Amino acid sequence: MSDQSTEKKQDTDKDKKRKKIIVITAAVIIIALLGVIIFLLTRKPEEEEKRNVVVTQDNVDEVLNDMENQEYVEPGYYSVSMSNEWHFLTGDAISEDAYVENVEENTNDIYFDVFLAGNEEEAILKSPVIPRGSEMNNIALDKPLSAGTYECVMVYHLVDEEQNTISILRVGFTIYVEA
């Protein structure tokens, strides 16, 4: 009988050690997660490059006035208005049917970058800032493409008056280069 009580005591001691190990492990994991959360909340955003603004004869006074007096408006929504197929006669030509519009009802100015699908490291087009109510057309690519069909991703950046990105929107579309 004494062997049985010794075995029970050893089993109880082992259970206590396992429980301590589990509690200590859980505490370490919780502390690590808290550290990661604090790090993510306190890090500073990366500095973003500033873009030129598309200014037309129709909007020059309005753009200047907006730039001087515009109050920050929290973005509520964004409506995409663009052609979803862009055709180019050659890879370095201007497209007659490509356009991107920032409709007046949107809450912020935008700029966008175009990438080949699956490669968001190297932009084939970087737009200037497009104010609300303006559009960009007669578009040429920054990096010419050879003949073919390309699935692409347009990454919209909604920006504040200092051109800091507030939010990002990705839209897929197709580019066709004929020759």
Q: Cα angle vertex 97, ends 92, 103, to 5°?
A: 115
**Distance in angstroms (rounded) separating the CA atoms of residues 125 and 171:** 14
- Amino acid identity at 145: L
**Res 72: pLDDT:** 44
Q: Is the pLDDT of residue 49 over 70?
A: no
Domain shared by 70 and 129, yes or no: yes
171 and 83 together in one domain? yes
Q: Is the model's pTM score more than 0.95?
A: no
The sign of the torsion formed by the CA atoms of 108, 110, 115, 119 equals negative
For residue 83, being part of any structural domain is answered with: yes
Number of domains in the chain: 2
Q: Give the 3-state secondary structure of residue 16.
A: helix
Q: Give percent of the chain with pLDDT exceeding 70.
A: 79
Specify if 152 maps to a domain.
yes
Handedness of CA 102, 107, 111, 113 (dihedral sign): negative
Query: Residue 80 belongs to what domain range?
Result: 60-177
* DSSP code per residue over 128-165: -BB-TTEEEEEEE-SS---SEEEEEEEEEEEE-TT--E
Q: Within 13 Å of residue 30, how many CA atoms lie on the same side as its CB? A: 6
| 31 and 77 within one domain | no
Average pLDDT of the chain? 84
Residue at 48 is within a domain: no
- Identify whether residues 103 and 26 lie together within a single domain: no
Mark whether 28 and 75 lie in a shared domain: no
> pLDDT tens-digit profile of 70-81?
544 455 467 888
Closest CA relative to residue 88, chosen from 149, 153, 178, 174? 178
Please report which confidence band the pLDDT of residue 58 belongs to, taking 50, 70 and 90 as the band edges: confident
Q: What is the CA radius of gyration of the chain?
A: 28
Question: Nearest 5°: phi and psi at 63?
Answer: -65, -45
173 pLDDT tier (thresholds 50, 70, 90): very high
In a domain, 35, yes or no: yes
pLDDT band at 151 (very low <50, low <70, confident <90, very high): very high
| Same domain for 80 and 37 | no
Residue 145 has pLDDT above 80, yes or no: yes
Distance CA 177, CA 146 (A): 7
